[in-house]
Amino acid sequence: MKAALHVLTIVGARPQIIKAAAFSHAVGGKYRGRIKETLLHTGQHYDANMSRTFFDELGIPPADIMLHAGSGDHGVQTARMIEGIERALQKEHYDVMLLYGDTNSTLAGALAAVKLHVPIAHVEAGLRSFNKSMPEEVNRIVCDHCSTWLFCPTITAVANLEREGFEVDTEMPASRDKPRIVVNGDVMFDNSMRFAALAAERSTLLHELGVAPEGFILATIHRNHNTDDPIRLNAIFSALLDLQQRHALPVVLPLHPRTRKRMHELLAADLHAALQASVHFHLLPPCGFLDMIALERGARLVVTDSGGVQKEAYFFGKPAVVLRPETEWVELVEAGQAVLADADPARITAAAAAFLEHGMPQCPPLFGDGHAAEAIGEVLLEERV
């Protein structure tokens, strides 16, 4: 009997831990005995409510290898991670490195693995914002170009890769120089479907906040482009305050630690005071995943700059006002579920008013059948050399 395929999965930031749950679940179930997963946590996110909570709630086994890269400038943070990941790769043989998304943890994994000739499977391959001022855009391009398997969530992602010279039909086995493109759906959809019932059973957050289903706006803000620019940050929070008052809807805002810090530093004093004083503004610590699902399902409208929250809004049939000039998830905009409003109060207000008045159109299924993680396992086992 063949030895189990040994996969080293790298996680570090909140959304990666969440994404990793779907594959870890498949490894513990359908692929038990055929795939062995070792989990390396870079320590990019380290507060309990940005990291450990998700292991506990989503039933992910604890990380086998824990680095403590922590926060820092991009170069410093990424370098610490590369060093730790390289050490792990030198200690033990892995058949595949599994990388998620576009964070500095993804970049570090890609650079460490490609130099040591460990084949990379990139989940969420091919996404592009066409805006290289975003650190994530650089990270995802580098990772795609180091990978052997490119797991694309959408057809748009495949087209983006083709434009960069990747070929759709490649001979087997795949390699770094002849990588294989696979459209497998979205592991986040797998998770949202799997945990929705548990969230309904366990989350009491709406009740605790005193907000009614369909009776509040959910907002999340964490992109450095928004949080670290005083003009954009003030514009976004003024728009949220305006929305709250104009539509008499409470706003629930779980705050990323970066955002909380920047609000203190960069918001105009009167705006900050108004937000703090308003009983209709619920400024919360980062939420667990089950509470987050409950908020997304309960919200009347989602206002966000998060990639994951944009999609989850769609999974739960909620319209989204996106606080960015562009998005990697163009299908959502084309389907009319999301509107790009940047950090422009007039556009935010207009998009929100339109959704609140008219609702959103019916959207086609866009992100697979809820078995994206199993498809990854299938391809890796089929192509093992």
**Site for ligand UDP, residues 211 to 250, rule: CB under 6 A:** 220, 222
> Residue 254 or 319: which CB sits closer to ligand UDP?
254
- When asked if residue 266 is in the footprint of ligand UD1 (CB under 6 A), the reply is no
Stretch near ligand UD1 under the rule CB under 6 A, chosen from 29-37, 45-53, 114-122, 241-249: 45-53
Q: How far is the CB of 178 from ligand UDP (least distance, A)?
A: 30
Cα–Cα distance between 337 and 310 in angstroms, integer?
Answer: 9
* Catalytic annotation present for 222: yes
Cα–Cα distance between 172 and 92 in angstroms, integer?
Answer: 26
- When asked if residue 292 is in the footprint of ligand UDP (CB under 6 A), the reply is yes
Residue 125 corresponds to which tokens in the numbers above? 């391959």
H/E segment holding residue 99: strand 96-100
Residue 80 corresponds to which tokens in the numbers above? 């610490």
3-state SS, one letter per residue, for 313-342: HHHCCCCEEECCCCCCCHHHHHCCCEEECC
> Residue 57 or 136: which CB sits closer to ligand UD1?
136
Catalytic residue among 122, 222, 256, 371: 222
**Site for ligand UD1, residues 189 to 248, rule: CB under 6 A:** 222, 224
Using a 10 angstrom Cβ sphere, with 0-12 exposed, 13-18 middle and 19 or more buried, the burial of residue 273 is exposed
Q: Which SS3 state, helix, strand or coil, does residue 198 take?
A: helix
- When asked if residue 254 is in the footprint of ligand UD1 (CB under 6 A), the reply is no
- When asked if residue 306 is in the footprint of ligand UDP (CB under 6 A), the reply is yes
Do 204 and 71 form a contact (C-beta atoms < 8 A)? no
- When asked if residue 367 is in the footprint of ligand UDP (CB under 6 A), the reply is no
Q: How far is the CB of 269 from ligand UDP (least distance, A)?
A: 26
Produce one character per residue of 56-67: b if its CB has 16 or more CB atoms within 10 Å, e if not: ebbebeebebeb
Give the active site residues: 222
Contact residues: ligand UDP, CB under 6 A? 14-15, 18, 220, 222, 254, 286-287, 289, 292, 306-309, 312
